[in-house]
Amino acid sequence: MRIGICDTTFARFDMGAAAIDELKNNATDLKIIRYTVPGMKDLPVAAKKLIEEEDCEIVMALGMPGPMEKDKMCAHEASTGIIRAQLMTNKHILEVFVHEDEEDNPQELKKLAENRSRKHAQNLLQLMFKPKELTRNAGKGLREGKEDAGEL
Amino acid sequence: MRIGICDTTFARFDMGAAAIDELKNNATDLKIIRYTVPGMKDLPVAAKKLIEEEDCEIVMALGMPGPMEKDKMCAHEASTGIIRAQLMTNKHILEVFVHEDEEDNPQELKKLAENRSRKHAQNLLQLMFKPKELTRNAGKGLREGKEDAGEL
Amino acid sequence: MRIGICDTTFARFDMGAAAIDELKNNATDLKIIRYTVPGMKDLPVAAKKLIEEEDCEIVMALGMPGPMEKDKMCAHEASTGIIRAQLMTNKHILEVFVHEDEEDNPQELKKLAENRSRKHAQNLLQLMFKPKELTRNAGKGLREGKEDAGEL
Amino acid sequence: MRIGICDTTFARFDMGAAAIDELKNNATDLKIIRYTVPGMKDLPVAAKKLIEEEDCEIVMALGMPGPMEKDKMCAHEASTGIIRAQLMTNKHILEVFVHEDEEDNPQELKKLAENRSRKHAQNLLQLMFKPKELTRNAGKGLREGKEDAGEL
Amino acid sequence: MRIGICDTTFARFDMGAAAIDELKNNATDLKIIRYTVPGMKDLPVAAKKLIEEEDCEIVMALGMPGPMEKDKMCAHEASTGIIRAQLMTNKHILEVFVHEDEEDNPQELKKLAENRSRKHAQNLLQLMFKPKELTRNAGKGLREGKEDAGEL
């Protein structure tokens, strides 16, 4: 199975590498195609190209929006494009965004970026290979990279 | 008739199960296909796949946006995608979202999530089997999961 | 000519009935197809189905967004979808929304909802049968359901 | 060359007439098709119909958003639709919007509406007939209807 | 390789010229097609036309949003359209926007506009000719036109 990883030079942690490491540690026979672009807004078309020109079955789109209002808007525009790309291709593109202001401490932010990337790599594997596992966890309040919120 | 239910592991209550239970209690000969994804932003393409790859005639997309500004934006992006998916397929995808900040008390929130899921399952059955019932209620100020606002 | 009317059970006044009454009082040979859905976000696909599956030449999409921030966002998402549906079909879908907070007094709100629905029904007839009448009023500051703002 | 002008009865100044006058004063052999709709949200499909059903090579979409928050959102939705219509047709649709709150004084607002309409009509002529003139002015801080901001 | 440059007369610095100069200084055998439009909202269709009618392999879309709330919304609408155009063509359109309020001092703003344009021209060359260079810089916190944020 061909899996696309697109990420950015704007991000302050190599989220793509963490995702790829997690995928390789947990599955065999994956062909991973990586595509790095400058910023978040370049991710939607990169993900679509991975699907349509590189025959990827699923893609992860990883980015780190900055802390300013302008950056929030960029993230919104990128997200909207990522959803549109999915609807045009009928393939999942897992958006993995870590907002720089989610943590004050750079080390915590780095840890969050790594954990979220890895957790979504596991989500990808479940979507592709163990969809029943996801249904078993429906409504469980799972969170990626932070403590789960849990069931009400 | 094939009906799609897509829900998330992010939600803190198993809204999909409540919807399915309500559908089964009120109709026979339904074939329900369930598709659980990690988060709200994965719902639009999941719903579209249920329609186009699983031949569902209608879909429910259930989720629970968190209380933060970032979560509100996620919900907005997911909603926009769900509407786009409907326009691409000419099928209804009933969005059933419960915002975590709609209730302070976790038990009330849980009750709301259950009631809204069930109420929208009834809406689905009316849309499919009793459209005149909906027209009879046009302008009645109906609400799902809370008290009706009523007519002016 | 086939005309579509789509409205909601969420609205607190039967705007669809008012629009239909106005159409019938002012034109003959109209075939009106009514389609009621639960809420505003269901309107875009309903309108598109009226055009593509029921051969409507034009559609009115009537709704009453609630007063909360969340409701405003719903209205925005529905509007965006209604515009998209028009671009996909090359047909007009007249959006007739009355925001609950446009009037404090319920009787005034009801009156506004009725007047705006009727006024837009007249707009529909002009668009279809008397387009020159609209051009004659270009830039006149017309308002639907409230006093006209008038020309500068 | 066929040129489309779409405008609204909502606007408080006849921007369409000003644009048409400017076009006629500055070019010959133009066939102008005018299409007036009730409000701004009706402009995107009107512009697309002018292109696809009336064979217009380019369109001006003129409107005057009101001063309220709700009006700003309408303008945003209309703009988004106008951009989408351009992408679907590969034709320019020049958006000419004057916000009612750009000027306090009604006479100033009227003057602004007229000047901006005329200035964009000149832009249309440059886009169609003298594209090099635009490139000569790239980065010059030009403004339509107000004093130019100028180069840094 | 054919490369499209679209820019505006609204911008207060000739970003297009800076980008073209940088491209020419760093690569040979490029055929550059320049297309100047009045404002930011005209960029999405201009970029798409450069791709579809002028056979450009990649496009830069350069603009300078003004400092007001209204200008921010324009930039958002343009960005959304630029992402949509990319998804419709499967080609990159590098958005290069400099917000007028990023710098108080006009000379600093001018410098920023020039540097960002040149830096994105280098990004374009890497995307086209040295994609591995981008992957080598994934997660490095690179910024265009300002000091890099760096890795966490």
- Evaluate whether ipTM surpasses 0.90: yes
Instruction: Read off the pLDDT of each residue in E81-105 and give the average, rounded to a whole number.
Output: 97
**Predicted local distance difference test score (pLDDT) of residue B80:** 98
CA distance from start to end of chain C: 37
Tell me the C-alpha distance between D152 and E10, whole Å. 12
The Cβ-side half-sphere exposure at C54, using a 13 Å CA radius, reads 22
DSSP E145: S
Written as six digits, the tokens of C127 are: 């668009």
Q: Could you tell me if C99 lies within 8 Å of chain B, comparing CB atoms? A: no
Question: Contact E98/E44 with Cβ under 8 angstroms?
Answer: no
Tell me the C-alpha distance between C106 and D35, whole Å. 37
Q: Which tens digit of pLDDT belongs to each residue from C36-67?
A: 999 999 999 999 999 999 999 999 999 999 99
**Burial call E16-29: b when 16+ CB within 10 Å, e when fewer:** bbbbbebbeeebee
> For residue A85, what are the CA distances in angstroms to A50, B50, E86?
11, 17, 10
Q: Could you tell me if E9 lies within 8 Å of chain A, comparing CB atoms? A: no
For B111, nearest residue in chain A (alpha carbons): A152
Tell me the C-alpha distance between D141 and B33, whole Å. 57
**Predicted local distance difference test score (pLDDT) of residue D150:** 96
φ, ψ at C19 (rounded to 5°): -65, -45
> For residue D27, what are the CA distances in angstroms to B142, D113, D125?
57, 21, 8
Chain A residues in contact with B11 (beta carbon < 8 A): 138-139, 141
Tokens 């899996």 correspond to what residue? Answer: A3
Which residues make beta-bridge pairs with C59? C4, C93
Q: Could you tell me if B52 lies within 8 Å of chain A, comparing CB atoms? A: yes
Chains D and A: 3 or more CB pairs within 8 Å of each other = no
| Residues of chain B predicted below pLDDT 50 | none
Q: Which tens digit of pLDDT belongs to each residue from D34-61?
A: 999 999 999 999 999 999 999 999 999 9
Tell me the C-alpha distance between C43 and C64, whole Å. 12
Helical packing angle, C15-26 and C106-129, nearest 10°: 40
Which residues make beta-bridge pairs with C2? C31
CA distance from start to end of chain D: 37
Full DSSP string of C38-89: SSGGGHHHHHHHHHHTS--SEEEEEE---SSHHHHHHHHHHHHHHHHHHHHH
Q: Could you tell me if E79 lies within 8 Å of chain A, comparing CB atoms? A: yes
Tell me the C-alpha distance between B74 and E134, whole Å. 29
Written as six digits, the tokens of E83 are: 């992402």
Q: Which tens digit of pLDDT belongs to each residue from D6-36?
A: 999 999 999 999 999 999 999 999 999 999 9
Q: Could you tell me if B88 lies within 8 Å of chain A, comparing CB atoms? A: yes
**Predicted local distance difference test score (pLDDT) of residue E45:** 98
Question: Contact A150/A140 with Cβ under 8 angstroms?
Answer: yes
Tell me the C-alpha distance between E5 and E60, whole Å. 5
Neighbours of chain D (3+ CB pairs under 8 A): C, E
| pLDDT band at residue D88 under the 50/70/90 scheme | very high
Q: Do E37 and D134 touch (CB under 8 A)?
A: yes
> For residue A62, what are the CA distances in angstroms to A28, A118, B94?
22, 11, 29
Tell me the C-alpha distance between A6 and A63, whole Å. 9
Mean pLDDT by 10 residues, chain C (152 residues): 98 98 96 98 98 98 94 97 98 97 96 98 98 98 96 96
CB atoms within 10 A of CB C1: 13
User: From the CA atom positions of chain B, what is the Rg in Å?
Assistant: 15
**Predicted local distance difference test score (pLDDT) of residue A102:** 95
Question: Contact E93/E124 with Cβ under 8 angstroms?
Answer: no
CA distance from start to end of chain E: 37
Chain E residues in contact with D112 (beta carbon < 8 A): none
Full DSSP string of B97-118: E--GGG-SSHHHHHHHHHHHHH
Q: Which tens digit of pLDDT belongs to each residue from E23-52?
A: 999 999 999 999 999 999 999 999 999 999
Instruction: Read off the pLDDT of each residue in A134-150 and give the average, rounded to a whole number.
Output: 97
Please state, for a pLDDT cut of 70, what percent of chain A lies above it.
Answer: 100
Q: Do B138 and C38 touch (CB under 8 A)?
A: no
Element (H or E) spanning C125, and its range? helix C106-129
Q: Do A12 and E92 touch (CB under 8 A)?
A: no
Chain B residues in contact with A152 (beta carbon < 8 A): 12-13, 106-107, 109-110, 113
CA distance from start to end of chain B: 37
